[in-house]
Amino acid sequence: EAQVTQNPRYLITVTGKKLTVTCSQNMNHEYMSWYRQDPGLGLRQIYYSMNVEVTDKGDVPEGYKVSRKEKRNFPLILESPSPNQTSLYFCASSTGFGTDTQYFGPGTRLTVL
């Protein structure tokens, strides 16, 4: 089954404790991205990657890091989480051309205390 998976689905952590949210896709897509979703603000892009070892900042990259060492994986790293990073996070992948349909993962709900 074609899908994007994320782990964990839910996470409660404390300020300053480094964490990683994993994302993996099995569709051989070149393009992957991370979004955060907050009430009333829609989906805002954090980082995106057009291919292995190619990443770039989205609209809200502060406080986040990413890496793309393999085509299928695109982890999101919060080196020192803060309460304002409490949000719902989505990973997405796409072919990067045509309709560029974004296939979203199930989401990770993160709470930083």
Partner 1 sequence: GQSLEQPSEVTAVEGAIVQINCTYQTSGFYGLSWYQQHDGGAPTFLSYNALDGLEETGRFSSFLSRSDSYGYLLLQELQMKDSASYFCAVRDWRSGSARQLTFGSGTQLTVLP
Q: Which residues bind partner 1 (CB under 8 A)?
A: 31, 33, 35, 40-45, 48, 50, 56, 58-59, 90, 94, 96, 99-107
Q: Which is nearer to partner 1, 24 or 33 (CB)?
A: 33
Nearest distance from C-beta of residue 14 to partner 1, angstroms:
25
Distance CA 12, CA 22 (A): 15
**Shortest spacing between CB 37 and partner 1, in angstroms:** 9
> Considering the complex, what minimum distance in angstroms separates the CB of residue 63 from partner 1?
19
Residue carrying the six token digits 């997405």: 92
Q: Where are the beta strands (DSSP E) in 1-113?
A: 4-7, 10-13, 19-25, 31-38, 42-51, 54-57, 65-66, 76-78, 87-94, 103-104, 108-112
Cβ-based nearer residue to partner 1, 54 or 113: 54
